[in-house]
Structure 1
Amino acid sequence: MPVDLHHPVRATLDAVLDAARPDTSGEVASYIPELADVEPERLGIALVSTRGDVHDAGDSDVAFTIQSVSKPFVFALALDALGVDEVTKHVGLEPSGEPFNAISLEAASGRPLNPMINAGAIVTTSLIAGDTVEDKFGVIRSGLERFAGRDLLVDEDVFSSEARTGDRNRALAYLTKSAGTLAADVEVATTAYFRQCSLSVTARDLAIMAATLATGGVNPVSGERVISEDAARWTTAVMTSCGMYDESGHWMVHVGLPAKSGVGGGIVAVQPGQFGIGTFSPRLDARGNSVRGVAMLERLSAQYGLHMLAHRGDALSAIGSLTTSDGETVAMLRGEIYFAAAEEVLTRLAPLVSDDGCLVLDFSGVTRVGSAVRQLFHALPSAVGARPDGSPRVVVLDPDGVLG
């Protein structure tokens, strides 16, 4: 019988669930009447790698409304369509240090402080293409479906409940409209926003959506490019500083992953270049974050060293070996070469460039080269010039074309 090598990962997620389950503190969201009736004991988690591998445990396929977890993904769609310069004319990028529904507008510009609070999210929704609610929400829904890799349905009961009790959000929209930052009619923007928040998702969906940000905008399960690398990076950056509302600083110290919470009980977290995580547990703390979701992610981060700013030890040298024969020194390079590795190669090997021999940089063991440093190696032979006899001081061998 074949061994299931996925089992240890699932066992890890099960253990995280078991550790969080006894905590029954917090309350389900009640300011939206329909959310007050959700089953508080639901508990699920999913992890999706940038290769598209899915691992989950507990109630990972139970549907709930996405609520504010939609905010970074709609922000990403706006960034992808309009660019950061245009979007930031309407909404800022700074932490508010205030609750999600606070009136947080810049005094001079009238911009909401960031797209992760309600005022900023409503403005972001207003930037999405379309003049009517149907058109605008259609673009949003299609975009979030591409993030999740499947069709998403609106919970019409939750939508009706949000629309009926959403006067504070309408007030925020009117304030941004009067300041000149809202890009649509108030009723169009708020209704589209209520509908986006009422989309039903699962913890598994959220993990795939987060993993799409982790890959730089490509859904690792469907293989579809959803947004540009720039839009994914900008979105992840704002999640890092603003995604957990007025607990974002505490979150970055104790968990250290870009994340976004929602009052439906969901949290998404991103480890750029590695994986996305989605959690679901409906009871919320005073700041509107899932109590058990926070506990699960704190435990995972502490136990497995997931903090994005953790020191990983000395990096493996990009120079695999040096051999010299007949006046030629061959440096076998290896692994992934980005700026730091390129700096090491150029600095350590500089003394070997002379009139007495040739330095050969062999890239056959290199798997990837950062686009920004490719030009350094392309330009190197001409930059150092030729030896007195006309032969090159430096030769770059790139048999697999990793330098592009």
Structure 2
Amino acid sequence: MLSSASHTRFAPADRMKALPTQFFASLVGKVGRMQAQGHDLINLGQGNPDQPTPPHIVAALQEAAAKPQYHKYPPFSGYPFLKEAAAARYKADYGVELDPETEVAILFGGKVGLVEISQCLLNPGDVCLVPDPGYPDYWSGIALAGARMVMMPLAGDHDFLPDYESLPADETARAKLMYINYPNNPTGSTADAKFYEETVRFAERHRIAVVSDFAYGAIGFDEEKPRSFLQTPGAKNVGIEIYTLSKTYNMAGWRVGFAVGNAELIRLINLIQDHYYCSLFGGIQEAAALALTGPQDCVGDLVHIYKQRRNALYSELERIGWQAKKPSGSFFCWLPVPQGMDSAGFADLLLEQAHVVVAPGIGFGPHGEGYVRMGLLASEERLREAAQRIGRLNLF
């Protein structure tokens, strides 16, 4: 027998070596060690919804799970009824007409679509424009395709919107794909019709495919309903939008989302998924369709909870002297670090001395430095307590 010391070593493919380092893996490790020591941590560093899935959606899955037709392989690109439900939701919420057969693709959660689209469009050396700060999984898909990222800085004095005119002309001329994301992770900012019109014109001029990450599309505050990219004239000619049920209906663990928009991009997503998957379990698809077409009161109730939490947290932040702009969408707060500190050091300090977990801005890109991200994913009482613990450090 071979001893354990003589196991064969396998060399990973180059694409595995090119994957970006998971910045937040080390944060999760630190949090785990602190919890193991028995500390009472208030974890506001992740984007994991803390409320349960609404009962009527759970009941629909329980009932659907018993149906024998769902115990067989589902259709490769998903059941037509879920695509029809996605199209109906977009028509009701945004006035956007979609052909369920050619303009909707079912996804194993939005993250999968965000990574797959790079595989569909980018060759080694191609350029993709990404927001900075932005969701790190955009980087993963680009790395797997062997393509190259060009960052689009998001600055507070420009409402955390990219300034297309300031991007290097030679890079935009080479770009084949770009990601945008509003309501935004991590900044909590939203986009208006004018920005989306500029985006369509920019994409048309440079022949760039646009991916609008609309994960937080249901979560807007102060009577402002977030706009869909597809509401913009010409948007379907240049791109797609990726939507997930994770945030809207607290279905993060269910792994169900969809891409909508440009028929050619939808065809490519369905084609690549034919080689990876045989679609989602039919019972989940039935429950997801009910979520999209059933009563939407649960969505309004959820947004109200996040709004109350936001207001509770910011009133306490103001009291301790931490000045920051309230988010207009998503469930994230983007907070400046004290002068003279960097985001990773400040996050470590809050973890070790206040036992409050936040995500350092540098993990979202170079322009995230100087901020930390805090999630509204605990009760009002715990959010107030987190701010009070931080206040006792006398940093502001």
Question: TM-score with structure 2 length normalisation?
Answer: 0.25
More helix by share: 2
Q: TM-score, normalised by structure 1?
A: 0.25
Q: Which has the larger radius of gyration?
A: 1
